Amino acid sequence: MSESDVTPDGVRGRRPDREAVTGVAAGRSRRRRRRGEQPVVPEAEFSSYSSYYGLPVLNPPVWKPLDIAGYLFLGGLAGASSVLAAGAAATGRPALARTARTGAAGAVSLSLAALVHDLGRPARFLHMLRVAKVTSPMSVGSWLLAGYGPLAGAAALSDWTGRARPAGAAATAGAAVLGPAVAAYTAVLLSDTAVPSWHEGHRELPFVFTGSGASAAAGLGLLATPTGQAGPARRLALLGGALELGATRLMRHRMGLAAEPYAQGRAGRLMRAAEALTTTGALLAGAAGVAAASGRGTGGVRAAGVARAVRAAGVPRTVRALGAARGARTGGGGVPGALRTARTAGAVARRMGVPAAVRAARAAGAVPSTRGTGLARAARPLAAAAGTALLAGSAALRFGVFHAGVASAEDPRYTVVPQRERLRAAERAEQPERAEQPERAEPPGEAEQPGQVGEA
């Protein structure tokens, strides 16, 4: 031996100070190995420094706010508008259907432009279509946009040109099928990242974005559609606003610490503005519906009944005018155009001395009476104000969610503290399991093995 030798008097050259003490002699007790995450560094105080070595725990998103937050808003507007367009076309509201189809095509075009601008080159978007991976939200979203965009464009083009009506109807239906996924997939895309304020809200964020998209589509319909055909848009405003506000509150309640960025700084201001604007827009949409219902008996157009009355009175000129009113109503001219034409027909009949036709026109609403017209005239300004508020509220929510995610990635507290809370919760869950399991008895020594004493 180089350092020590065994002699009759003992071990020569022994160095007790260099011998390691292990096991029970070192004061360690035998215990079961823990499962799950284990801390490898002491707890840090985040008030004194930002992170280890001055580097962030997470790299914050490098996306441009205007491009990506605008892309989130326009995608929701496009998808919900396609659903609204299909419903309006099915219920015989051509003006609302045209508004929704045009809004869907324009919004998806602008959203793709914003996405490509953030990517830097159009070829990068095309590269994402080289692979179809159902487990990747980005891959699924790329294919959704690639299929939805042409359908929305074809539906709007057919409506405006009046050509290929069957193909336009099929494109409208196809866009409506893909519309909800287009409106919600961006929430899944954000939740699939490691950004705390996005990932922690993965259960509710798709519902928040779907409600926000419905509110935006309803706002566009109220802003650009005559009051008489905007009934589905008003109902969608109430439904979308309730879903957006309810899901947002539930998400922030369940997120815990990661919900703080939604109430602080720029993100907090945007979220508060979104809540106020959406609530105001929904209330104004309901008020516009009440105003429109009050004037429906005096301002509604029933051109067919008036035409039969004046035809019986033998007034060909008025019949032609009311026929034009009927064509304006069914051909996409909208209720205001038909109402103006019917009023002209009523005036012609009045000048020609046909009291019966005048009375029939007034009963049908072509010649409005003075009852209820004040509240009915307020329906259009209320609808326009509601549409503006809903669009602005939806945009503010998308920008607020974006900035909240960036703020949570820049502060390591939102990443590390929830991880430690999960570790402590796992340890508390394991303690009852260890208490229930009895300690294993040590195996008997060789001298106590059965049979050895008798053999000796």
Annotate 137-201 with DSSP letters as a single string. Answer: HHHHHHHHHHHHHHHHHHHHHHHHH---HHHHHHHHHHHHHHHHHHHHHHHHHHHTSS-HHHHTT
Helix (H) or strand (E) holding 318: helix 316-330
Q: Average pLDDT of 326-337?
A: 44
pLDDT of residue 18: 55
Minimum mean pLDDT among 140-144, 331-335, 419-423, 447-451: which range?
Answer: 331-335
Q: How far apart are CA 322 and CA 307, in angstroms?
A: 6
Handedness of CA 178, 180, 182, 184 (dihedral sign): negative
Contact partners, residue 354, CB within 8 Å, separation at least 6: 310, 313, 315, 318
Q: How far apart are CA 198 and CA 406, in angstroms?
A: 9
Closest by CA to 339, choosing from 368, 369, 373, is 368
Classify 331 as helix, strand or coil: coil
Q: How far apart are CA 164 and CA 351, in angstroms?
A: 43
Handedness of CA 46, 52, 55, 57 (dihedral sign): negative
> Greater confidence, 400 or 128?
400
Where does the pLDDT of residue 306 fall: very low under 50, low under 70, confident under 90, or very high at 90 and above?
very low
Contact partners, residue 141, CB within 8 Å, separation at least 6: 185, 186, 189
Q: How far apart are CA 191 and CA 272, in angstroms?
A: 22
Mode of pairing for the β-strands spanning 10-12 and 5-7: antiparallel
The residue written with tokens 């099915």 in the block is 90
Minimum mean pLDDT among 116-125, 212-221, 308-317: which range?
Answer: 308-317
Q: Give start and end residues of each alpha helix (H) in 53-93.
A: 65-90
pLDDT of residue 59: 78
DSSP structure class, residue 63:
-
pLDDT, mean over the chain:
77
Q: At what angle do helices 205-224 and 379-410 cross, to 10 degrees?
A: 150
Minimum mean pLDDT among 267-281, 324-338, 362-376, 389-403: which range?
Answer: 324-338
Q: Average pLDDT of 149-174?
A: 93
pLDDT of 48 higher than 80? no
pLDDT of residue 49: 42
pLDDT of residue 228: 86
Q: How far apart are CA 419 and CA 39, in angstroms?
A: 10
Contact partners, residue 303, CB within 8 Å, separation at least 6: 322, 323, 325, 326, 329, 338, 342, 364, 366
Q: pLDDT tens digits, residue range 205-256?
A: 999 999 999 999 999 999 999 988 899 999 999 999 999 999 999 999 999 8
- Residues 264, 235 contacting (CB under 8 angstroms): no
Q: At what angle do helices 379-410 and 65-90 cross, to 10 degrees?
A: 140
Please tell me whether the overall predicted TM-score, pTM, comes out greater than 0.75 for this model.
Answer: no
pLDDT of residue 369: 45
Q: Can you say whether residue 445 is alpha, beta or left, with left for phi > 0 and alpha for psi between -120 and 50 degrees?
A: beta
pLDDT of 279 higher than 90? yes
